[in-house]
Amino acid sequence: MKETEKAKRVTTRTILEMKAKNEKIAALTAYDAITAKVLDESGIDIILVGDSLSNVFQGNETTIPVTLDEMVYHAKIVVRAVKRALVVVDMPFMSYQVDAEEALRNAGRILKETAASAVKVEGGQAIAESVRRMTEVGIPVMGHLGLTPQSINKFGGYKPRGEEKTEASRILADAKLLESAGAFSIVLEKIPAQLAAKVTKSVKVPTIGIGAGESCDGQILVYADMLGLTQDFKPRFVRHYANMAEEMHNAFVRYIDEVKKGKFPSKEESY
Ligand code: KIV
């Protein structure tokens, strides 16, 4: 987008209208200002300050350890850098599961302190009442079903969810529950493409897939995965659009070499 063109804000309404217009929704994560700015200027629809920052940014094995304070810190930074995209913030593990009161208080804190536009929560039936309470008071909520990483200790691994009939029916029922509780969109993670297509057809709110096939109304990836920054993580659903880890490595090696050989800085780079 040219600097003179004023960016039209993407809102939750825009996202809902995109499904109605059959327009695909593109989403990626960001946790810092530089990435968020480049993403926003590239025309992304949704930026998720995902709790994947626990893995990507903090180097943890799961999303469990990241705290509400840390999510708020990163969300503030991202929001500050974004002019157009809809910024959604993940509610971290145990910031919304206890009861609706706590969910409401913590979601309210995220919106008030970060100026983000929406929150994302994982789960269906167990949190549907909290989703209802949040949406009733004006807090837009994105749902997340299928392989919900905050439940990794229950699942015991990252294998696809909803492959057998009972779980597939549960995911479909949960999607309808989230929709009736007021969620404005639903992330479907690592479920069979056929099931994702069925869910997408069954609800009016957009589904955003990650490892859930082509029929979802939109797609999301972790930015560091698609840029090839996370080298030891390559599930089938991640497409590498760049090999940034290699690019960074080569640049660092060149810099070190030039410093050691006295080739950097040059006269032109000095005062
Ligand atoms: O935390 C995250 O990045 C996510 C996306 C992968 C959907 O929840």
- The token pair at 36 is 């968020």
pLDDT in tens, the chain (271 residues): 555 556 799 999 999 999 999 999 999 999 999 999 999 999 999 999 999 999 999 999 999 999 999 999 999 999 999 999 999 999 999 999 999 999 999 999 999 999 999 999 999 999 999 999 999 999 999 999 999 999 999 999 999 999 999 999 999 999 999 999 999 999 999 999 999 999 999 999 999 999 999 999 999 999 999 999 998 888 999 999 999 999 999 999 999 999 999 999 999 999 9
Rounded to the nearest whole angstrom, what is the distance from the C-alpha of residue 121 to the centroid of ligand 1? Answer: 10
- The token pair at 39 is 């993403």
Write the CATH number for 140. 3.20.20.60
- The token pair at 269 is 């780079």
d(CA 28, CA 36): 9
The atom of ligand 1 lying closest to the CA of 208 is 7
Cis-peptide, bond into residue 192, ω within 30° of zero:
no
DSSP code of residue 150:
G
Same domain, 209 and 263: no
Task: List the catalytic residue out of 113, 189, 214, 268.
Answer: 189
Nearest CA to ligand 1 atom 8: 50
The amino acid sitting at 236 is R
Same domain, 201 and 227: yes
For the Cβ of 90 lying below 6 angstroms from any atom of ligand 1, the answer is yes
Domain of residue 253: give its range.
243-271
d(CA 75, CA 230): 21
Same domain, 269 and 161: no
Count of the separate structural domains present in the chain: 2
Residue 120's DSSP bridge partners are 90, 142
Task: Name the pTM for this structure.
Answer: 0.96
Same domain, 176 and 221: yes
- The token pair at 228 is 């090839």
